[in-house]
Amino acid sequence: MAGNITFTMIKPDAVGAGNVGAITKMIQEAGFTIKAMKLTKMSGERAGQFYAVHKERPFYADLCKYMSSGAIVPMILEKDNAVEDFRKLIGATDPTKAEAGTIRNLFAKSIEANAIHGSDSDENALIEGSFFFSQTEQF
Ligand code: ADP
Ligand code: MG
């Protein structure tokens, strides 16, 4: 059965552009409950750890630099079928391919600065949530 928790993070481009409120509103209106949320910033080293799965990809170094360039807003979200439904709400990685009305379609600047992260599995949702919040199991 699909889990009811996912992890997201509003990325530096969207925080810098003042879109935290608009994005958070869309998330809540889509039926997600925010269980944990904070404004923080990653060092380049922390960004590298978060995206370690991509370390062989050509965009890895740029991605780590970008993700540590400004404030981010990580959140733990709850909803039935959370992981899949949230990936639908944010749209494709490349905003030029993201469906109309998705968060990336509306707010992303580029394939790298694409406004928001969404976990790709129940397992990764817990790992990524724990990266920013303690006692994730209580959510
Ligand atoms: P998603 O965030 O949709 O799960 P990936 O896990 O494939 O996408 O990639 C992680 C992040 O790396 C993306 O959200 C984006 O910020 C960046 N990224 C992915 N592909 C590229 C690319 N071709 N060029 C630059 N940055 C990329
Ligand atoms: Mg991914």
Global pTM value: 0.96
Q: What is the pLDDT of residues 72-88, one digit of tens each?
A: 999 999 999 999 999 99
Per DSSP, helices labelled H in the chain are: 12-16, 20-29, 44-50, 60-67, 82-90, 103-107, 122-132
Domain that holds residue 97: 5-42+70-132
56, part of any domain: no
Contact 37, 27 (CB under 8 A): no
In a domain, 104, yes or no: yes
- Higher-pLDDT residue of 1 and 26 is 26
Answer yes or no: is 31 within a domain: yes
State in Å: Cα 28 to ligand 1 middle: 24
Give CA–CA dist 75/70, Å, rounded: 16
* 106 secondary structure, DSSP code: H
**Backbone φ and ψ of 17, nearest 5°:** -85, 0
Under DSSP, is residue 52 helix (H, G, I), strand (E, B) or coil? helix
Count of structural domains, the chain: 1
Residue 139 resides in a domain: no
Examine residue 65 and state whether it is found in any structural domain, yes or no: no
- What average pLDDT does this structure show over 10-15? 98
CATH number for the domain including 100? 3.30.70.141
Residue 83 lies in a domain: yes
Could you tell me if residue 120 is inside a domain?
yes
Catalytic one of 117, 129, 132, 136: 117
Has 117 been annotated as catalytic?
yes
In a domain, 63, yes or no: no
Distance 67 CA to ligand 1 centre (A): 11
pLDDT in tens, 42-71: 999 999 999 999 999 999 999 999 999 999
